[in-house]
Amino acid sequence: MAEFLTAARFYFEADGITEKVIKEVSGLGVESTPAQDIHGSSKGGFATRQPTPTVAKFTNITVKLIATDDLRLYEWYEDCNKNMGGASQWQGNRKDASISVYDQSGKMQARWEILRCYPCKYTGPTLTASSGDMATETLELVHEGIKRVPPR
């Protein structure tokens, strides 16, 4: 029987950015919406119908992390989105990233690779004096694809 995965043991990393405390990852999705159905009629008057696949669309991935004094994820966002006279640096700052899920013994059981991603949105924490919650930051990643691969 396959190992059941818990949603509470996972890890996110992006080339050179490791050891971050991640609270939540969402948006691991891909969709291939079919083109409009092709309807027709063939010899003998038989109606035909064929949906045709289109290009895959990937949803943006949202990474919510516990805010600390480590600025690496924010600096990555800033490096990709500075507009220096019309020439932002997003293309040269794309990274391969991954999300790994572990079982209770600490063995990796599932892994998703995120291809050539960069942060397109940064949201700082909501700070409330009466709250006991940890401050969080959120990064939204745009990417060229995700792949579910065997665990390493």
Residue 148: is it exposed, middle or buried by C-beta count within 10 angstroms (0-12/13-18/19+)? exposed
User: Above 80 in pLDDT, residue 99?
Assistant: yes
Q: Which of 138, 1, 127 is nearest to 62 (CA)?
A: 138
CB atoms within 10 A of CB 54: 12
Q: Tokens 């989105």 correspond to what residue? A: 81
Pick among 2.40.40.20, 3.30.70.260, 3.40.50.720, 2.30.110.20: CATH of 10-33+56-149 = 2.30.110.20
pTM, entire model = 0.81
Q: What is the model's pLDDT at position 86?
A: 60
Each residue of 57-95: pLDDT tens digit?
A: 899 999 999 999 999 999 999 989 877 666 667 788 899
Report d(CA 69, CA 57) in Å as an integer. 35
- The dihedral built from the CA positions of residue 130, 69, 75 and 73, taken in this order, carries a sign that is negative
Question: If you ran DSSP here, which 8-state letter would residue 80 be given?
Answer: H
Q: Tokens 């994820």 correspond to what residue? A: 73
Task: Kindly list the domain boundaries of the chain, sorted by start residue.
Answer: 10-33+56-149
Q: Are 73 and 144 in contact (CB under 8 A)?
A: no
* Helix and strand element counts for the chain (H, E): 1, 11
Each residue of 2-22: pLDDT tens digit?
A: 878 888 889 999 998 988 888
